[in-house]
Chains A and B, each alone.
Chain A
Amino acid sequence: MIFLKIIHFISAAIVQGIPLLFGATGEILTEKSGNLNLGIPGIMYVGGISGIIGGYLYEKAAPTPNGFLLILIPLLASMLGSLLMALIYSVLTITLRANQNVTGLALTTFGVGLGNFFGGSLLAMFGESGSIALKATGAAYRTKIPFLSTLGWFGDLFFSYGFLAYTAVIIAIVAGIILNKTRVGLNLKAVGESPATADAAGINVVKYKYLATCIGGVIAGLGGLYWVMDYTDGAWTNNGFGDRGWLAIAIVIFAIWKPKLAIPSSFLFGGLYILSVFIQVPTSWAREIINMLPYLVTIVVLCAVSARKKRENLPPASLGLSYFREER
């Protein structure tokens, strides 16, 4: 039935879009402070593998794991891992004023390496063989809302996801409110637009940049956690997360730096990511063309925004630049 198929497709697109949404929201917060963090893909890998490590150690230590701890321990581990990664970036670019592009790329190299290394070696390090599959943790993360998720197509569409999916949407909405409706958001945007102005207005530029980058990093890392725990059910495959981190950065542009728009954009990109599976394209090359669409669309948006020059839609004015108060 075509209707159910569409519902199924949308639901799958949302599942695909959730990691992207985490990454995009995290990067928007970071970029609003003027930091272009190209290390987000690396951070998302680390967010994933840290969760895996936490879950693995807990499952190993507790023969009868507690459902609550099954969620909490990987969650905290993931957040800690992402935070450390974001801190590396912050120290280098904010305190040491290093080039943001180079630092970001190095961070991604490092993070992807770290993810794949532990993903491939964790069991070997504990003298086990095979590949990582955290069944209990995965199941805990995939717990659906009882009763509501069984409401037929309605339940499938709205209530068939693990709690992290709802968290992603809530974080994006909250981020949007903070940016547009609060003093903190106003100050943060000022830091990204013109750090000298913000500084002269008494805003602690360094503190804002650190906080935005670190919180952004942790949020992005949750995308990695969602991927390994919910989507792949507690299993790790090397490079399995693919280039979704870069796609998240693309969404930031596509959503013109607005978390609110990042929500539908992520689902749209998630949909494009799996569209080829659903519409049963006859040939594989046609499938690859569809897979190319997210990037092409992003380029078009980037060009359109820069051509229209509407000031509010442009990237934060100081994006990519480091700030030194006594610059002359």
Chain B
Amino acid sequence: MKKERKTREPLVHITKRATIPLWKAILVRVVAILIALVISAVVVVVFTHKNPVEVLRAMFNGNFGSARKVLFLLQRTAMLLCISLAVTPAFRMKFWNIGAEGQVLMGALAAAACMFYFGKTKMPNWLLLILMFAASLIFGMLWAIIPAIFKAAWNTNETLFTLMMNYVAMQIIQICVSIWAPNGSGVMGHINPTTYKGWLPDVFGQKYLINIIFVTILTGILFVYLTFSKHGYEISVVGESENTARYIGINVKKVILRTMAVSGLICGFAGFLLVAGENHTITKDLAGGMGFTAIMVSWLAKFNPLIMMGVSFLLSFLHLGGVQVAQDCRLNESIPEIITGIILFFIIGCEFFTRYKLNFRSAGKEEAK
């Protein structure tokens, strides 16, 4: 005879919360971030053998140490925010587009191609910039719309499709670079380094500033689009329930295609800014994984463009601060990814406590008595 296992009462029983007060929801997140920061600090201190105050100073120094650094922080925040905005409409529709990296790269490639081919002609700079702008948007959009077409037609898994499209985009860039790069070096270097053709102008004598301005405007536009426009409303309905959308006569396939097109357009725009406003060159690492980070930013901000500003700032701050710490300690520059990872784990994990309630069995019984 097998020994009968006695059934124990479950220690913790999980139930779904109906609602949670706002202050509690915020408290849970703040506590999670604080714990994450403490753990990150411990990790960094263990790795660097420096005292925590010094590490913290290095973090701030890396971000606010000089006017240039502040501008760079804002620029990075802006680019991350821009891509986060791009993925948001699709996510609101529960379309898991993780192909932002590729869509940005295709936008960037289009801009670089225009610079490369028209930079030597007599085309005026303003016309070239407009051409680059248009080409970026179209390429970004095309890259986003391809998986959407298959999703609409055959319900092809969009997560896996868009993921693969990233690498196809990177390879296309590799192909172009190997054709364009001088003497087959495989490295592009600045395009039009002497004529500055296709470079966005400095505003108030500051590089990058124009990117920051553009993205700020875009944030406002997208917020209004998602919250107050009919399109935004349709996106929400499709995301919540395709059946309801069908019931009120929304053409679900059309909305999927249109929304992915919007996502792609913004990604293309981000690519344009990366090329024309920041790097003036093209490599397959141009987006530097921001296409993936943006997905997390958008999700953490609950797809709200205004909260995304804060989240992108936080992640950019940690990134640049981490780079500074690594440089100061002559360690590898991957520290920021580790810190970002730790913080993300905690914020992702704490969501649970806002959605579910833990009922401890023994405590509940005593209360009942």
Contacts and interface: CB of A to CB of B under 8 A. Distances in A.
A101 B96 contact: yes
Given A101-B96, A243-B167, A326-B16, A249 B160 contact: yes
A139 interface: no
A42 to B, nearest CB: 8
Interface stretch (A116-124, A158-166, A182-190): A116-124
Given A125-B331, A315-B160, 6 more contacts: A92-B348, A96-B352, A99-B299, A117-B331, A299-B165, A315-B157
A110 interface: yes
Nearest to A106: B344
A109 B341 CA distance: 6
Interface stretch (A8-16, A216-224, A287-295): A287-295
Nearest to A101: B96
Contacts of A306: 150, 154-157
B156 A106 contact: no
B47 A125 contact: yes
B293 A109 contact: yes
B96 A113 contact: no
B98 A113 contact: no
21 contacts: A91-B349, A96-B349, A98-B348, A98-B352, A101-B159, A102-B344, A103-B348, A105-B296, A106-B340, A109-B293, A109-B340, A110-B337, A110-B344, A110-B345, A112-B334, A247-B167, A291-B174, A292-B171, A299-B168, A306-B155, A326-B15
Given A295-B164, A306-B154, A109 B332 contact: no
Top 4 A-B pairs ranked by shortest CB distance?
Answer: A113-B337, A110-B341, A120-B332, A292-B171
Interface in A228-268: 238, 243, 246-247, 249-250, 253
Interface in A70-91: 88, 91
B349 A116 contact: no
B240 interface: no
Contacts of B335: 113, 117
A96 B349 CA distance: 6
Nearest to B335: A117
Contacts, number: 176
Interface of B: 14-16, 47, 96, 98, 150, 153-157, 159-161, 163-168, 171-172, 174-176, 178-179, 184, 186, 289, 292-293, 295-296, 299-300, 330-338, 340-342, 344-345, 348-349, 351-352, 355-356
Contact of B150 (A96, A111, A303): A303
A327 B295 CA distance: 27
A250 B161 CA distance: 9
A220 to B, nearest CB: 16
A307 interface: yes
B331 to A, nearest CB: 4
Contacts of B16: 324, 326-327
Given A238-B332, A249-B163, A250-B164, A105 B157 contact: no
Interface of A: 36, 38, 88, 91-92, 95-99, 101-103, 105-121, 124-125, 238, 243, 246-247, 249-250, 253, 283-285, 287-289, 291-292, 295-296, 298-299, 302-303, 306-307, 309, 315, 319-320, 324, 326-327
Contacts of A120: 331-334
Mostly, the B contact residues are helix
A295 B168 contact: yes
A202 B352 CA distance: 25
Contacts of B178: 283-285, 287-288
A304 B335 CA distance: 42
B61 to A, nearest CB: 20
A114 B157 contact: no
Given A88-B345, A101-B96, A105-B98, A121 B331 contact: yes
A56 to B, nearest CB: 15
A102 B334 contact: no
A117 B323 CA distance: 11
Contact of A36 (B159, B184, B340): B159
Contacts of B174: 285, 288, 291
A136 to B, nearest CB: 24
A288 B181 CA distance: 14
Contact of B171 (A111, A117, A289): A289
Contacts of B165: 295, 299
Given A96-B351, A124-B331, A307 B154 contact: yes
B15 A107 contact: no
A286 to B, nearest CB: 9
A113 B334 contact: yes
Given A117-B332, A124-B331, A292 B172 contact: yes
Contacts of B176: 285
Contacts of A247: 167
B160 A303 contact: no
Nearest to A327: B16
A101 B47 contact: no
B338 A117 contact: yes
Contacts of B153: 307
A131 to B, nearest CB: 11
Contacts of B293: 105, 109
B279 to A, nearest CB: 19
A106 B348 contact: yes
Given A106-B341, A109-B340, A306-B155, A121 B332 contact: yes
Contact of A303 (B96, B154, B356): B154
B295 A102 contact: yes
Contacts of A285: 174-176, 178-179
B168 A292 contact: yes
